[in-house]
Amino acid sequence: MEAISDIGGGISARKIDDKTMILFFGPQHPSSGHMRIILKLDGDVIIESDPDIGYVHRTMEKLSETKEWIKNSVLFERLAILDAGNVTQAYIIALEKLLGIEPPERALYLRTILSEINRISSHLYGMGIFAIMLGSSTGYMWFFGDREIMVQLAERITGSRLTHTYHIPGGVRRDVSKSFFEELEKGLNYIEKRLRHYEIMFVNNPVVRSRIENVGILSRERAIDLGVTGPNARASGIDFDVRVEEPYGAYSFVDFEVPVYKEGDALARTFQRMDEIRQSISILRQLSKSIPEGPILNEKYLKLFTPAMKEVLEKDKRIKFPAIFTSLKPPSGKAYGRVEEGRGEIFFYLESNGEPKPYRVRVVTPSFRNSILLKYLPVGYRLADLPAIYGSIDYFPPEADR
């Protein structure tokens, strides 16, 4: 006879026999967000894992087909609020291909600066959630506290802490002053020093290390078979990064390395993200030293500015949208945009029929691609290892439930 019990923390179980039970992990779990994992246990060993996603599905793809082109930038940045600049850049790149326009060089630099600030912020967020899953409240507070520096820098560029709505067809919405780059360097110096502290306090903490080393091992072959992307793939020996394979923004103007680990365990995924923060710091320093002067919007649209709009741009360094932006009508055609987001590759497919609204929009997010890991990685490990595996993947439910 089956027995059902509620064991707290959003976890309930159904006993099958003396050795086997079905356990429901979530969706109320405080650190996993709107996500449930259905586990089959032999004692405390996981023998089956079934990720049950979709609790925050918002039909973004279909919603975007009911809105004017420019409005979808505001919609899509809600996919991953902590990485909004990277998400919307992929959409805008695809839209610019349909429109047949390119942003000026300064705009490319500014886009890339925001992208790398967002990447650091995203990794700190992910490691903070990872820390609290492992019971490290100190790690959680350190990562989230330090992330605030990057959030404030993003606000200095865009005027908004999280949902920036910064990228627009043909350029960016705001310019920056020279004082911003001084603030950026101070922030980067601080984060760079803190990385050493993270290794001492968190990664090499004996308790944390014992819980994540040789846990949740993902081989290179399995990562390829499952179509894993981003830091999770690179931590398993896959040397792939969209910024290198198909450069966009200002990445072709800077030198950086793509960190790769071979171990494929939760520890390697943690080191992977820390090394990527170091590379982001290097990229940001190069960009801040070499950013060119010039316009931040394509000349085609600048010609449409009224005297009042030109005054706003000159005085406040921000774009006051010309009327054409509210009724963009890209020629009929198809286009895609690829960007290396903090969690991996995000891919937008757009189709236009010459109307003010998209005919078709599809987006594949890295969290959706990586969600398959929650079916395979936990198998064979103990129940106590599940938070370590889940947290090391840096899965973000709202991004997957697009």
- Residue 346 pLDDT > 50: yes
- Residue 402 pLDDT > 70: yes
In this structure, the answer to whether residues 154 and 16 fall within a common structural domain is no
Contact (CB, 8 A) for 89 and 115: yes
Domain boundary among the residues 33, 52, 71 is at: 52
In this structure, the answer to whether residues 87 and 184 fall within a common structural domain is yes
Q: How much is the mean pLDDT over the chain?
A: 90
Confidence of residue 3 (pLDDT cuts 50, 70, 90): very low
The H or E element spanning position 312 is helix 307-316
- Tell me the Ramachandran region of residue 293: left when phi exceeds 0, alpha when psi lies from -120 to 50, beta otherwise: beta
Contacts for 315 with CB less than 8 Å, ≥ 6 apart? none
Q: How many CB atoms are located within 10 Å of the residue 20 CB?
A: 14
Residues in the chain: 402
Q: Could you report the per-residue pLDDT of 39-67, keeping only the tens digit for each?
A: 999 989 999 999 988 888 878 899 999 99
- Check whether the bond before 27 is cis (ω within 30° of 0): yes
Contacts for 245 with CB less than 8 Å, ≥ 6 apart? none
- Residue 8 pLDDT > 50: no
Residue with tokens 């005919």: 359
In this structure, the answer to whether residues 44 and 79 fall within a common structural domain is no
In this structure, the answer to whether residues 15 and 91 fall within a common structural domain is no
Higher pLDDT, 248 or 164: 248
Q: Could you report the per-residue pLDDT of 322-344, keeping only the tens digit for each?
A: 888 888 999 999 999 999 999 99
pTM flag (> 0.85)? yes
In this structure, the answer to whether residues 43 and 75 fall within a common structural domain is no
Q: What is the DSSP letter of 296?
A: S
Residue 3 has phi, psi (to 5 degrees) of -120, 130
Contacts for 305 with CB less than 8 Å, ≥ 6 apart? 313, 320, 322
Q: What is the DSSP letter of 318?
A: B
Query: How far, in Å, CA of 175 to CA of 113, rounded?
Result: 12
SS3 370: helix
Whole-number Cα distances in Å, 275 to 20, 117, 259, 279: 41, 15, 6, 6
- Tell me the Ramachandran region of residue 9: left when phi exceeds 0, alpha when psi lies from -120 to 50, beta otherwise: left
Q: How many domains does the chain have?
A: 2
Query: How far, in Å, CA of 247 to CA of 389, rounded?
Result: 31
Query: How far, in Å, CA of 250 to CA of 114, rounded?
Result: 11
Contact (CB, 8 A) for 157 and 166: yes
Query: How far, in Å, CA of 275 to CA of 212, rounded?
Result: 17
In this structure, the answer to whether residues 180 and 46 fall within a common structural domain is no
- Residue 4 pLDDT > 50: no
Tell me the residue type at 82: L
- pLDDT at res. 350: 97
Of the candidates 124, 169, 93, which has an alpha carbon nearest to the alpha carbon of residue 363?
A: 93
Q: Provide mean pLDDT across the span 12-27.
A: 74
Domain boundary among the residues 52, 68, 88 is at: 52
Residue with tokens 């979808």: 72
- pLDDT at res. 33: 64
In this structure, the answer to whether residues 285 and 370 fall within a common structural domain is yes
In this structure, the answer to whether residues 73 and 29 fall within a common structural domain is no
Q: Provide mean pLDDT across the span 218-223.
A: 96
Q: Provide mean pLDDT across the span 16-30.
A: 75
As given in the structure block, the two tokens for residue 218 are 């993902």
Q: Could you report the per-residue pLDDT of 159-187, keeping only the tens digit for each?
A: 888 888 899 999 999 999 889 999 999 99
Q: What is the CATH number of the domain that holds 346?
A: 1.10.645.10
User: How would you list the strands of the sheet with 3-6, edge to edge?
Assistant: 3-6, 11-15, 20-25, 36-42, 45-52
In this structure, the answer to whether residues 39 and 183 fall within a common structural domain is no
- Residue 128 pLDDT > 50: yes
Task: Return the HEC string of 18-75.
Answer: CCEEEEEECCCCCCCCCCEEEEEEECCEEEEEEEECCCCCCCHHHHHCCCCHHHHHHH
Confidence of residue 28 (pLDDT cuts 50, 70, 90): low
Widest CA span of the chain, in angstroms? 79
Query: How far, in Å, CA of 137 to CA of 131, rounded?
Result: 7
In this structure, the answer to whether residues 87 and 137 fall within a common structural domain is yes
- pLDDT at res. 1: 36
Tell me the residue type at 331: P
Task: Return the HEC string of 117-180.
Answer: HHHHHHHHHHHHHHHHHCCCHHHHHHHHHHHHHHHHHHHHHHCCCCCCCCEECCEECECCCHHH
In this structure, the answer to whether residues 219 and 337 fall within a common structural domain is yes
The residue range of the domain holding 139 is: 60-400
- Residue 80 pLDDT > 90: no
- pLDDT at res. 32: 58
∠2-45-55 over CA atoms, to 5°?
A: 70
Tell me the residue type at 158: T
Query: How far, in Å, CA of 245 to CA of 228, rounded?
Result: 16
List residues bridging with 361 in a β-sheet. Answer: 350
In this structure, the answer to whether residues 18 and 130 fall within a common structural domain is no
SS3 349: strand
- pLDDT at res. 166: 92
- Residue 142 pLDDT > 80: yes
